[in-house]
Structures are given as C-alpha cells and as structure tokens.
Amino acid sequence: MRFMLKGILAAALSLAALPAAAGAMKTLVVAEPVHGVGYLPLYVAVDKGYFKAEGLDVKILTVEGGSAHTNAVLSGQAFAFIGGPEHDAFAKLKGAELRSVVNVVDRGNVYYVAATGKGPKDKNYAAYMKGKVVDPGLFGGTPNSITRYLVNEWKLQPGKDVTLLETTTAGILAAVKTGQAQVAAVSEPMLTQGIRQGIWDEPFYNVPKEMGPYAYSTLNVRLQSIEQDPDTVRGFVRGVIEGLRETYAHPDEATAIARKEFPTMKPEDLKATLDRTFADELWSHDGMVSEASWITAQKVVRGANILKADVPYDAIIDMQFVKETLASGK
C-alpha cells in the first residue's frame, strides 16, 4: 500500500491527478516525510478499507527531505500530506493556501533523556540544563524546535547556557554513549533502545504529558481541494477518523498492521513503541485539531524562530468535515 521514493516518484505522484471512471475508485496520494509508527492510524485506515468504503483508493508515498511532502501537495501531485500545521502556516506567509482537515498525532512525540545516572533530581529543569550539551537532532526538525522553545521557557540561551549538538537522528545514540552530549531529545524506538543499552535512563521530561494537546501531525490539503471537491475531502476525513477509532478500539489488530508496515523492526522495539504511544495517547481520538493544540504548536515554531509571524487558527485549520462526521454519529 506504500510507494517508496526510488525511481518511481513521478509515476506514483501522477496517480493523484488521474480522473476516476464512473463507479471506479478515485486514486489519492498522501505524501509522508517518513514512514513511521506515529502515522499508524492512517495505515490502519488503508489496510481496513475505510477509504475504499468512501470510493477512495489511497496510496501512501514516502517523500523524504525537508518540505518535499508539502511541495507535493502545493504542486497538485499529491492530494494530502501528513505533517504539522506549521507547514500550512509557512505556505500561508508565502501566499499559498493549505488547510489541516483532520488530526492524527495530537501530542508532541518527543522525550528528553539523560545519560545513565546523570538525570535531574527534581523539576528545576532550568538549573539542570544550564551548562549541558543537548542533542535535539538537526535544526528544523520538530524535536529541535521543541528543545529551543523549552530552553527559552527556562530562560536559557542556546549557544550560551546550553550547547545544542544537532546531529542526525542516527547520531544521537553515539553522542550520548561517548559523552559528547549529556541530554537528548528522542522518540521510540530509539528511546527504548538507549535504555536497553544502558546509554540513558527513562525520560525525565515527557513532552506528551508536560505540554498537552499539540497539533503535531495533521493531514493537510490545498484550499482548492476543499472548495472544488468537498465530497472527496469529506470521504477522506471520514476514513481517517475510522482509522483513529479502530486503532484505539482494537490495539491488537492495529499492532498486526504495524508488523506488516514495519517487517524489519525488531518485535520488542515495535512493542515498546506502541506501548508508550498508547500509554501517552499520542493519537487523536476524534480527528479534531483544537485551538489549544495549534497555540502550542505555534508557540514552539515561533519560539524557535522558524515561523516568522503569528498565523491564526482559522487561516490554516478547517474542521468542518470532522465536525460534520462527529455530528452524524458515523
């Protein structure tokens, strides 16, 4: 059900523009920046046929690299992309119109860990973090943005009070293991891998719990799609909501789908990832993007100085189809 970006990008993306014959399925391409367990409800919706029940044949295309997933939608090559609504805000400031139409990940999927035995003794994070070297991943990534936001909230300055190492994700384990960094911003399965290897302890700061509702990964379409083809957007949103409901209602079945999507992931890593995801309720239950969740997401990218101006909720988020679906009781 998923295309990889290796020589078939043009062919896969072109599917988004194919007209459907009378009575036939309408093909839609959804661009994702990475194939990750965090997007499991979307994969569940595809696997369970919830989109097909709406007359939609949804293909998931992994488009790695910066804003490639956003650009695929802006160019009309893909119907939707999954990612934070800040991407809609970036586009808005450049004159383009994108809208978040349904939520998937409603918590910040980031955890702060310290080298084994070197974590804070209390919640005075400002005092603990001062003078530390932190690896939050590369600049521009959400873990990096959250780190910059939190450092600012703790009245510290990056480069002065806190050193940001900023390696690739793959380099984070090595950075803490070798002592180059004392603190890291991670998510599963790396979180559990580091614990098992004795590199770091359980998280001392749990972003999903500490920061609450956070529009971390929504599904986003062009405003033009809403205006010109609302029935397709409506059916797409209904399919996503069914995927969210199914994931929470039947976690064992969702886990089986995850095994198919990630056949090379170690079973213990997949279990640890899903256990933590369910425990922290990372996924939305109903598809709603609340105003509070955008306030948090916007504070992060504004605090990290990535988004250069405030963008109102209604300018980039459209919940009409989610509200309609919830009101219908379907």
| pLDDT tens across the length of the chain (330 residues) | 544 443 434 444 444 444 555 568 899 999 998 888 999 999 999 999 999 999 999 999 998 766 889 999 999 999 999 999 999 999 999 999 999 999 999 999 999 999 999 999 999 999 999 999 999 998 878 899 999 999 999 999 999 999 999 998 889 999 999 999 999 999 988 999 999 999 999 999 999 999 999 999 999 999 999 999 999 999 999 999 999 999 999 999 999 999 999 999 999 999 999 999 999 999 999 999 999 999 999 999 998 888 999 999 999 999 999 999 999 976
Cβ-contact 98, 223 below 8 angstroms: yes
Give the HSE-up count for residue 323: Cα atoms under 13 Å, Cβ half-sphere: 6
Q: Residue type at 29?
A: V
Cβ-contact 289, 218 below 8 angstroms: yes
Contacts of 208 (CB under 8 A, 6+ apart): 107, 108, 109, 214, 280, 281, 282
* 85 in the same domain as 14: yes
* 207 in the same domain as 158: yes
pLDDT at 23: 63
pLDDT at 277: 94
Which CATH number does the domain housing residue 125 bear? 3.40.190.10
* 198 in the same domain as 164: yes
* 320 in the same domain as 200: no
Cβ-contact 190, 173 below 8 angstroms: yes
* 159 in the same domain as 103: no
Cβ-contact 198, 114 below 8 angstroms: no
Task: Find the length of the chain.
Answer: 330
The first and second tokens of residue 180, run together, are 């180059």
Cβ-contact 98, 91 below 8 angstroms: yes
Angle at 39 between CA 230 and CA 105, to 5 degrees: 75
* 174 in the same domain as 71: no
Q: What is the pTM of this model?
A: 0.88
- β-pair partners for 266: none
Decide: residue 170, CB within 10 A, 0-12 exposed, 13-18 middle, 19+ buried. Answer: exposed
In the chain, the largest separation of any two C-alpha atoms, in whole Å, equals: 65
* 97 in the same domain as 195: no
* 221 in the same domain as 87: yes
* 172 in the same domain as 24: no
pLDDT at 13: 46
Q: Which residue has tokens 């803490």?
A: 176
pLDDT at 170: 86
| SS3 assignment, position 166 | coil
Domain boundary at 179, 211, 243, which?
211
What total of structural domains would you count in the chain? 2
Cβ-contact 70, 81 below 8 angstroms: yes
Domain boundary at 154, 188, 211, which?
211
Domain boundary at 180, 211, 242, which?
211
Cβ-contact 70, 92 below 8 angstroms: no
pLDDT at 6: 39
Q: Which residue has tokens 């400002």?
A: 126
* 248 in the same domain as 150: no
* 320 in the same domain as 239: yes
Which residue range(s) make up the domain with 58? 2-108+213-328
pLDDT at 329: 79
* 286 in the same domain as 261: yes
